[in-house]
Structure 1
Amino acid sequence: MKKLLVLLVLLFSIGVYAQKGKDTEPRNESFITTDVISPFYYQGTLKGFSDNGTPRWRLGYIKNINPKTKIGIDIGYGNANSSIIQTFDNYSLWEIRPEYYHILNPKRKTLSYFSLALFYLNQHEEFKNQYFFSKDNGYSTFDKADYKRQKFGLIPKFGMFVNISNRIGLNWYTGVGVNYRINSYSDFVNLRPKQYNEEHFSPYFRREGNRIGVEFTIGLKIYYRIKN
């Protein structure tokens, strides 16, 4: 994570420096994108990072509307077989993320923008020998159970499109928004009450029920430029 932050700070510095160059004519360009961070997503706990992640392969398309406006969509999918990091059994996840971009400096080589992104995420996993908090705040353990997570959200972002060559570039972004999470469990095997033990801490993001929370994002994409 520290290396990622250093990389994003470096890209930000490059972007700021690039904006000092001469103005150019506004470019009617669209982008095909792929996220380089999403295949390595881990879920955080109060004690650090979980041993099991929520990786997904994410592809996107950003369509130019006019010099100051673009719209885009990202679609992501991951499962236990395609993952390059560890996941729980029978893990699968898909997501969709439409986004509106407002370009702040359409005449610059490095484009800065504010954007507004919506997202929906649907995740399934099979847990074995795990612990969790139920809707009524009871603490329980089980031998096996199916877990489902749905998450909706809205995230305002700031980012930059930094050119590497005539066709290839990097898109870094960061933002803070809100999410609505729906967690559910089913098909328990040997479900039983358990006395709470901090060593068996059940991550907050797996707590059963519905919750509103803060959604933070920071990421990096590679894009291929399509000249309209």
Structure 2
Amino acid sequence: MKLNSKLIILILLISNFNFAQEQPNDFKSIVTFSTFSPLISYAPRWNLGYIRKVDKRYWVGLELGYGSKNISVNFAEDGGWIDNDYKLFEIRPEFYYDLRPKSKLKHLLSLELFYINHSDKFKNERYFNIENNTYYNYDAADYKRIKYGMNINHSLIYNITTKLALLQKVGVGLRSRDVKYSNVVNQMEDLNYEGPNSFVFPVNDGFLRNEGKATAFNFNLDLKIIYKF
């Protein structure tokens, strides 16, 4: 009896998913909520966005993000990635092209621009100056990071209901980053430290410790909860 009940529930869930995929695409607007930005980012923030369909193929969107220590819910504070004065603001305009306007499973190609303003204050840490190739220890310092660039993204929209869906996004692009340390207290050159011994994953590519300007490839990955209306 229990097995039959579970089977019935599974059939209902699958039927509901299929029904959602078969509904007409009569929505004009989408509200988005990023799940990756607050949960798995070294610089956590809450991102909300709005997307508007211009016609069958062209969509435009804008996403805003804000982060601070008081609203952080992930591992960043415990891992020393953010401190008490952590603040981050982000803006991302995006231009979409619907590759399959008649398909129930949406495939979107998009050009995304982004700008990030990130500040914090750190104590009893070290940083690396890119220009003179030197590590410094300090007692306290103000940290500032400006990052901007562009991504080419591919997104898939998976319908859960006629209104609710998931948007999976993968992209690659270029970014320029400028990190500055200021108001440094008791700065001293560290002659013994030789740098990290382990591989640094691209999402954590020295943005906290490397002072100076750098341009490199940018990788983008996100899973958004979206509401269509």
Q: Do they superpose with TM above 0.5?
A: yes
Cα shift at 1:112 = 0.5
Equivalent residue in structure 2 for 1:131, among 105, 119, 126: 126
Q: Pick closer, same or farther for the CA change 1:200–1:130 going to 2, 3 Å.
A: farther
Equivalent residue in structure 2 for 1:116, among 106, 111, 115: 111
Structure 2: distance between partners of 1:77 and 1:178: 22
Aligned equivalent of 1:153: 149
Aligned equivalent of 2:140: 144
Structure 1: distance between partners of 2:65 and 2:160: 25
Conservation of the 8 A alpha-carbon contact between 1:116 and 1:155: yes
Aligned equivalent of 2:176: 180
Counting strand residues as a fraction of each chain, which structure ranks higher?
1
Structure 1: distance between partners of 2:57 and 2:116: 29
Structure number with larger C-alpha Rg: 2
Instruction: Say whether residues 1:99 and 2:94 are aligned partners.
Output: yes
Conservation of the 8 A alpha-carbon contact between 1:34 and 1:59: yes
Aligned equivalent of 1:215: 218
Conservation of the 8 A alpha-carbon contact between 2:152 and 2:173: yes
Aligned equivalent of 1:15: none
Structure 1: distance between partners of 2:221 and 2:24: 30
Unaligned 5+ segments in structure 2 are 1-17
Structure 1: distance between partners of 2:184 and 2:85: 15
Give TM-score scaled by structure 2 length. 0.80
Conservation of the 8 A alpha-carbon contact between 1:120 and 1:151: yes
Instruction: Say whether residues 1:204 and 2:193 are aligned partners.
Output: no
Aligned equivalent of 2:71: 82
Percent identity between the two aligned chains: 36
SS in 2 for 1:39: helix
**Residue type of the alignment partner of 1:99:** E
Aligned length: 198
Structure 1: distance between partners of 2:162 and 2:155: 20
Structure 2: distance between partners of 1:210 and 1:110: 41
Aligned equivalent of 1:60: 49
Cα shift at 1:115 = 0.4
Dislocated runs of 4+, deviation >6 Å = 199-203
Unaligned 5+ segments in structure 1 are 1-17, 43-52
Conservation of the 8 A alpha-carbon contact between 1:145 and 1:188: yes
Aligned equivalent of 1:30: 29
Q: Pick closer, same or farther for the CA change 1:138–1:149 going to 2, 3 Å.
A: same
Q: Pick closer, same or farther for the CA change 1:25–1:166 going to 2, 3 Å.
A: closer
Cα shift at 1:104 = 0.7
